[in-house]
Structures are given as structure tokens and as C-alpha cells.
């Protein structure tokens, strides 16, 4: 069954939208490497929290994506604008609507 990842991060004040732009850049290309769903959201209750919900064909494909030069460049670019407060849940997707 598909692999899912539900994560959050916090930007430093004023940098949330810049981080969101980085996260969304080139997202269509993820489809070619096993990503079925990649949803970026922002908190309704503060101005710094960003959520990412992902569905991949396999955990291996998700992990491989993190090693791509473009992914590493994006992470390096975003990191100085993040506080270091991350949450992350690895899950198995069991079904639903819109997959």
C-alpha cells in the first residue's frame, strides 16, 4: 500500500510564504518519481506553520527523492528560514477519495 508522510515545519517570522514557494517549485516533476500526492498547507491559527501531506508509491521512492540534487538544493535554500521545529509521521495509506 502507498507510503504517506505528514509533516510540519515552522518558518522564522515573515518567511512562511517564501518557504512555501520553495516547497511548491517543481512539484509536478515529483509525479515522475513515484509521488502521487503532495499537498502544501499553512496553519489557520498562526503565521509560521507549514504542513506537507505526501503520498508515494513506496517509502523507497520518497527516500530517494530526498537525495536528488534539486531536492537538496531546495532544502538548503529553505533551511535558514526555518526554526528547526519539525514534526513528521510516517504512515501507510489505506484508502480514500482523490488518490
85 contributes a contact to a second copy by CB under 8 A: no
Q: Round to whole Å and give the CA distance between 95 and 78.
A: 32
Q: Is residue 84 within the footprint of a second copy (CB under 8 A)?
A: no
CA distance 32 to 55: 13
Per CB under 8 A, 56 contacts a second copy: no
Degrees (nearest 5) of the Cα angle 26, 27, 28? 90
Residue 7 β-bridge partners: 52, 88
Among residues 42, 64, 68, 81, which is the contact residue for a second copy, using CB under 8 A?
42
Rule CB under 8 A: which of 11-40 touch a second copy?
20, 24, 27-28, 30-31, 35-40
Residue 5 near residue 87 (C-beta atoms within 8 A): no
List interacting residues with a second copy (CB under 8 A). Answer: 4, 6, 8, 20, 24, 27-28, 30-31, 35-45, 51, 53, 55, 89-99
Amino acid at each position: 500500500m502507498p507510503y504517506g508522510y505528514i509533516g510540519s515545519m515552522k518558518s522564522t517570522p515573515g518567511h512562511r510564504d517564501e518557504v512555501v514557494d520553495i516547497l511548491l517549485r517543481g512539484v509536478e516533476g515529483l509525479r515522475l518519481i513515484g509521488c502521487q500526492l503532495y499537498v502544501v498547507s499553512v496553519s489557520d491559527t498562526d503565521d509560521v506553520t507549514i504542513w506537507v501531506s505526501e503520498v508515494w508509491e513506496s517509502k523507497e521512492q520518497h527516500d530517494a527523492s530526498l537525495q536528488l540534487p534539486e531536492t537538496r538544493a531546495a532544502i538548503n535554500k529553505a533551511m535558514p528560514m526555518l526554526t528547526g521545529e519539525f514534526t513528521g509521521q510516517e504512515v501507510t495509506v489505506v484508502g480514500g477519495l482523490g488518490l
